[in-house]
Amino acid sequence: MGYRLAVMLADLLDPERVRVGVTISSKESALRTVASLLCMPEGTANEEVVYDVLLERERLASTGIGSGVAIPHGRYDGVNELRAAVVVCPAGVDFEAVDGLPVRILVGIVGPRSMPQKHLAALAGVSRVLRNDGKRAALLKAADDADAYRTLLEP
């Protein structure tokens, strides 16, 4: 089962969309950082619109799921496939998470409106991967972006 989840995350991620050691001062700047990465490679989506999509979803309820993890997400027809971006913020950021703890790992997900089932499956898969204490600890200790990317793909 772990292998299948890792493959799914691999399908959504691109090494360009993984960043570690990021300092973020607010929830808004966290969403802007995630939106920017979701638009990589350069010019593949409209960053401002992706930010608005993430912000709109965040206004419904915080996507801070606890244990220092948030999964900001939304659906946007400016992309033709589901994609993810990962930001590791060791100092943490107040994200109004369900458990009140600062968020240190953000996984942004965006995909077209035509894929609601895939979108939900991606959310569930990412949530499952990040419920693993060892996986979160390894991400927080990642030496660089490439190391974090490899950590995410390991079963």
Whole-number Cα distances in Å, 18 to 1, 12, 60, 151: 23, 11, 26, 11
Give the span between the Cα atoms of 105 and 15, in whole angstroms.
Answer: 16
Q: Compute how many other C-beta atoms are within 10 angstroms of the C-beta atom of residue 139.
A: 25
Q: In terms of Cα–Cα distance, which of 72, 94, 76 is closest to 85?
A: 72
Handedness of CA 10, 15, 127, 36 (dihedral sign): negative
Bond from prior residue into 41 cis (ω within 30 degrees of 0): yes
Q: Compute how many other C-beta atoms are within 10 angstroms of the C-beta atom of residue 71.
A: 20
Give the 3-state secondary structure of residue 89: strand
Instruction: Indicate which residues carry an active-site annotation.
Output: 73
